[in-house]
Amino acid sequence: MLHVNNLTAAIGGKQILNGLNLDVGAGEVHAIMGPNGSGKSTFAHALAGRDGYDITGEVTLDGADLLDMEPEARAAAGVFMGFQYPVEIPGVNNMYFLRTALNSVRRARGETEVGARDFLNVSKKAMDLVEMKEDFLYRSVNAGFSGGEKKRNEILQMAIMEPRLAVLDETDSGLDIDALRIVAGGVNALRSPERSMVVITHYQRLLDYIKPDFVHVLVDGRIVKSGDHTLALHLEANGYADFENDLGDASEQSFAGAQS
Amino acid sequence: MTAPMSESTRTIEELTSADYEYGFSTDLETDIAPPGLDESVVRLISSKKDEPEWLLEWRLKAYAAWREMEEPDWAKLEIAPIDYESISYWAAPKQKPVLDSMDDVDPDIREMFDKLGIPLHEQKMLSNVAVDAIVDSVSVTTTFKATLLEAGVIFCSFSEAVKDYPDLVREHLGSVVPVRDNFFAALNSAVFSDGSFCYIPKGVRCPMELSTYFRINSMNTGQFERTLIVAEDDSHVSYLEGCTAPQRDENQLHAAVVELVAKDRAEIKYSTVQNWYPGDENGVGGIYNFVTKRGRAHTDAKISWTQVETGSAITWKYPSVILQGDRSIGEFYSVALSCRRQQADTGTKMIHIGKDTTSTIISKGISAAHGQNTYRGLVKILRSAENARNYTQCDSLLLGKECGAHTIPYIEVKNPTAQVEHEASTSTVGEDQLYYCRQRGMTEEDAMSMIVNGFCREVFNELPMEFAVEAQRLLSISLEGSVG
């Protein structure tokens, strides 16, 4: 479903992704782990279409070329990104924001828009999933939300947008154990054969709750190791040092190649 | 990780370079005086309007005062010198002299207002808004006059008021903004051509929203209207004001005066959506808007100003409240947008005289492209004002790198029991906010509009329903551009 081939990304002349390859099948959950600065968030933003990166390579979703699309077109194609740092929009009520978002993608897909009343029903169901109270809908988007509330709001949005591909960027960061349980519960409930997920995380902890089908280790802008969920446990015990050494060899080779 | 600077600047410039929607002009046969100002012009205006002697005297006194005064230069505005001799001080659309009904309104004028979305046929109108339509400073029609009179409410053009209710006008004219108040008020007092007059008798709650729609049409003319609203004891009125002008290459001067009198326990809510032509992106053309607006609140009275200022090349405007009576309340809610090369220096003055008086100031300044936006406000607590309170909040939003936001609050407190709070913030519409919205499927324009409208929420909440919708739309249009 998602096909990433030889993806590179640079910002301000600094190379961050160095030929990343990944295939995610329908209904699969892939975890991407890696040390700080390895390019995890850049990968998420490259999928979502953030401005400012120089990108090469190939990314398709259901055969459609994502790299050619604006962020809003990718959203309409079914890409949803759960932000590591959800953005505050003061004065814009959460429900209005969510409904505008949902109707924007529906409009782009040529579907009918959802009216205010129907939307309230849709959002109530989604709110139960992340254990939110109704007043949440009437507050400004993320403004004055606690860290946990912001992350739950991301999952709420995902539930409402019903994406084809969800990219969750460090959704576990800044969460206490209760919030983590709620967020992970929401994510698990949204797993479906129709939906693929890329879960980016720093710690194995999240994967105790969301059991991935595959785990990939990202170091220095490329995937250096892939495996099943036991790989995450290995990382938890040994850290990323082994893989960083591997990469040291690799860059040594390319250095030698450049010399000749 | 942020996007490179050039990218974000480009986007915001595109988003803030929309076309002015009301830039058309209408060919109306116009009665226009030759340019220049001297005593004979003041006499001409007065005689054209068939005014009583006392009003002519009043004008002449104002003219003499104006001659002695100098243009104020303390505002943070860069203005090409205004040549007062090149302006024509009288322009009026020629039409039938007496209007008995809406059908008598010149069809060209009716069409112009239809085009502006303000139908003057009562049956087509929003059922609960009465409109005084003013073209080039002359009132062309007032709707729902009869309905209002049944409730005892007088709502008519200023000229009619001078003829029909001379005592009311004479008693209150200049009582809040004296002729010598400032350069532009003195000029207005000398040459004002028309405007709206509104009188709410004791104990009456005005049954509908009153509204004045100002339209500048002629070239090379100054615009000088005067609005006077008197609310007697225990009365209530909500008043709306809208303004547009054609797109022209020269600057046009608009110097209006608005006076509000709220007697004991009366309440006046005055809302403005100002959308005069702002000039083009190079700063060519646009209205110079120098306006004096002030209200006097007597015991337990309340005056509330709400303004949405999106137009004009220059805005110089400080709607103020003299909190004279004990427990009187003054409010100022403002959204000021400066795009293109617009400059706005706007704010308020809250003068606390009575005991237990309260004022609230919420100002939202938005600067985009090369716009410069200044909040200038005075909170003055006199010795007599025991237990006065003020809360001021000034928020500035910057869109782009070339614009500016400035906040200049003056606070003068003569009574130690006063409580004065001032909060200020400056923020930018981040690329991260736009990106967040776009990731959720919204277009860049929709996202920008949503973010800016959110920033203005507290002020829009104060507007009457129809106006709030209009204001949001206007803000979106002013910000929208050619995102490719």
Which pLDDT score is estimated for A22?
96
Domains and CATH numbers, chain A: 2-259 (3.40.50.300)
Residue B63 has pLDDT above 50, yes or no: yes
Residue B100 has pLDDT above 60, yes or no: no
Cβ contact, residue pair A83, B436, below 8 Å: yes
Asked which of B25-34, B229-238, B276-285, B317-326 is least confident by mean pLDDT, the reply is: B25-34
pLDDT at residue B11 greater than cutoff 50? no
Determine which of A137-141, A157-161, B157-161, B215-219 has the lowest per-residue pLDDT on average. B215-219
Residues 6+ apart with CB under 8 A from B211: B129, B130, B131, B132, B239, B240, B241, B242
**What's the CA gap between B459 and B306, in Å, rounded?**
7
- pTM value is 0.81
Mean predicted confidence (pLDDT) in B150-156:
92
Instruction: State chain A's maximal CA–CA distance in angstroms.
Output: 68
As a whole number of angstroms, the distance between CA A55 and CA A43 comes to 11
Residue B42 has pLDDT above 70, yes or no: yes
Residues 6+ apart with CB under 8 A from B7: A51, A52, B431
- Report yes or no: A71 at the B interface, CB cutoff 8 Å: yes
Tell me the pLDDT band of B294, cut-offs 50, 70 and 90: very high
Instruction: Name residues 444-463 of chain B within 8 A of A (Cβ).
Output: 444, 446, 450-451, 453-458
Answer whether A91 touches B (CB < 8 Å): yes
What ipTM score was computed for the predicted complex, to two decimals?
Answer: 0.93
Residue A19's beta-bridge partner residues? none
Predicted local confidence at residue A43, as pLDDT: 97
pLDDT for B322 beyond 80: yes
Tokens encoding A172: 């576990």
Mean pLDDT by 10 residues, chain A (260 residues): 96 93 95 92 96 95 95 97 94 93 95 90 89 89 91 94 95 87 91 95 87 94 91 84 60 40
- The structural domains of chain B, with segments of one domain joined by +, span 5-479
pLDDT band at B331 (very low <50, low <70, confident <90, very high): very high
How does residue B4 score in pLDDT terms, banded at 50, 70 and 90? very low
Average the pLDDT over each of A10-14, B15-19, B296-300 and give the range with the smallest value.
Answer: B15-19
Check A90 against B440: CB less than 8 A apart: no
| Contact (CB<8Å) B2/A52 | yes
Closest residue by Cα to residue A79 from A194, A167, A200:
A167
Per-residue confidence (pLDDT) for residue B113, from 0 to 100: 66
**Residue A46 backbone phi and psi in degrees, to 5:** -65, -35
Q: What pLDDT score does B152 carry?
A: 94
Determine whether the interchain pair A72/B442 forms a contact, defined as Cβ–Cβ distance below 8 Å: yes
